[in-house]
A and B are shown apart, each in its own frame.
Chain A
């Protein structure tokens, strides 16, 4: 990284000190942000008492897996739920990365009539509070299109989000136009430019997009809950809630539910992001 000064071998200790100071500050901040997570995990190991009996202590007093008991109770749908979640989150992620980068590129680097208008339309769509659009959307998907209990109902509304198109557009704007121009002169077609030049140069942001979209979709509870009634079509989030965690007055089981549904995401986050980061070659093309 060129932002920070490189120290020679003689001054290696300076670099060490600097990094230790930075790390110390970051750790302090991380402690604050991680504290709620920590508390969530330790209280999930408590006895399944009512919320009022919540233990307000930093160190777990007892270790009980009672709240996780349900997890070992076999449900004929458990596997199906995970598969549903993977399928839905997978499709949504792939579509988002693909279509958002195409559209982002068009808005950032191509000039076409209505460019600004369409982009503004996308932005406006983000500004309407979802509390009111939820009802017409439900009417459309369930009452009009009759998509209740189908995968398409789960996937379609988030196939490409405005957020991701906007994100892609902002990143692609800062890519050097000269590279794209020269590619065009060499006879590269537009899709090829996106595939060969824009996407490789934006791997980091696409990775971020993929991770956040996947995790967001995995985490989504309310929409799948709304459009799916049959147990077979539920995602893991909805399925978990239908087990023992529905009762928010029971503290430990609720925390156990939160922990279990977050756990795959924690793992995914770390594995996915490393995989994506390794492939990045910063500044492969000089501007």
Chain B
């Protein structure tokens, strides 16, 4: 009996390796290999036609650069605000979409998802119009209606980051929503029945049935959103170029500039690896926090 079980276990292990073989080998070739190259490059003064070793000097100059810290701070602020708001909003919206018929669900899913697939460059033009600083701007005219004075949205360091955050939250809702809805549809109705017999209200069902059951999804969204947030590059690049006075310069933009504007590719790699380490710390924390009360 014991032997048989062991044999079964062994078989399971073989299958497990087979199952992860293809993804793992593609990762090793197309992701891990480039990552290792970047690690090596981070210790070099990189030149396409022959690099030279410079030890830790790329890291040293990164740590000395006050811009790097400012960019990290901006990135952290951006991520810490965008991720929870984005996840909470998409959770609520998903719950609101579920009671409708399939057709209506599709419509709303589409409506929220479309911005995610349209060209970012084209959409940035629209957002620039929304944030037009003059009184004729869309958001300014709207707010004047409520008695709010004219704002220099992207031009003032007080509002620039907030403007980018709003844009990111609305642009990113779609992906989260369709994943949440998939999770909600996967919940076994017997759970609701049981809760109903206990006399649970709607909110109690959401709190004690839905939220714990979609937890793996939430963890997934939280971690991928944090990764995306930390790597965020396009919005700042297109909308503010990092300004005013570096108020919206994020780590992704900094790395991009290092690598391609100044061709200091070695230093860009060093910065990217430091950023990756910070992301890793965040991700591990998230796993630890969520692992405390996992209920599956």
Indicate yes or no for A touching B, C-beta below 8 A: yes
Report yes or no: B22 in contact with A128, Cβ–Cβ below 8 A: no
CB distance from A231 to the nearest CB of B (A): 21
Complex partner residue of A269 from B113, B171, B220, CB under 8 angstroms: B113
A115 at the interface (CB under 8 A from B): yes
**Nearest B residue (CB) for A276:** B182
Given A40-B123, A113-B13, A131-B268: A34 and B185 interface contact (C-beta under 8 Å): no
B1 at the interface (CB under 8 A from A): no
Report yes or no: B255 in contact with A190, Cβ–Cβ below 8 A: no
Contact indicator per residue, chain B 88-125, by CB within 8 Å of chain A (1) or not (0): 00000101111110101110111111110111011101
Given A127-B279, A167-B179, A282-B189: A265 and B12 interface contact (C-beta under 8 Å): no
Chain A: interface residue count, which band?
A: 35 or more
B51 at the interface (CB under 8 A from A): no
A212 at the interface (CB under 8 A from B): yes
Given A166-B220, A204-B186, A283-B189: A262 and B108 interface contact (C-beta under 8 Å): no
- In A128-163, which residues have CB < 8 Å from any B CB? 128-133, 135-137, 139-140, 156-157, 159-160, 162-163
**Nearest A residue (CB) for B11:** A190
Report yes or no: B272 in contact with A171, Cβ–Cβ below 8 A: no
Given A129-B255, A204-B186: A40 and B126 interface contact (C-beta under 8 Å): yes
Report yes or no: B100 in contact with A19, Cβ–Cβ below 8 A: yes
**Nearest A residue (CB) for B20:** A103
Report yes or no: A3 in contact with B205, Cβ–Cβ below 8 A: yes
**Nearest A residue (CB) for B127:** A36
Given A36-B123, A36-B126, A127-B283: A5 and B202 interface contact (C-beta under 8 Å): yes
CB distance from B62 to the nearest CB of A (A): 13
Report yes or no: A106 in contact with B20, Cβ–Cβ below 8 A: yes
Report yes or no: B33 in contact with A19, Cβ–Cβ below 8 A: no
Chain B contacts for A115, CB-based, 8 A:
16
A-B contact pairs, 8 of them (CB 8 A): A99-B22, A123-B280, A124-B276, A136-B37, A163-B224, A170-B216, A173-B296, A283-B187
Give B residues with C-beta under 8 Å from A: 8-9, 11-13, 15-17, 19-20, 22-24, 26-27, 29-35, 37-38, 41, 93, 95-100, 102, 104-106, 108-115, 117-119, 121-123, 125-127, 129, 132, 136, 170-171, 173-175, 178-179, 181-193, 196, 202, 205-206, 209-210, 213, 215-217, 219-220, 223-224, 227, 230-231, 233, 251-252, 255-256, 259-260, 265, 268-269, 272-273, 275-276, 279-280, 283, 296
Give A residues with C-beta under 8 Å from B: 1-5, 18-19, 22-23, 25-26, 29-30, 32-37, 39-40, 51, 54, 56, 95, 99-100, 102-103, 105-107, 110-113, 115, 118, 121-133, 135-137, 139-140, 156-157, 159-160, 162-163, 165-167, 170-171, 173-174, 184, 189-191, 194, 201-202, 204-205, 207-208, 211-212, 215-216, 219, 248, 251, 254-255, 257-258, 261-262, 265-266, 269-270, 273-274, 277-278, 280, 282-283, 286-287
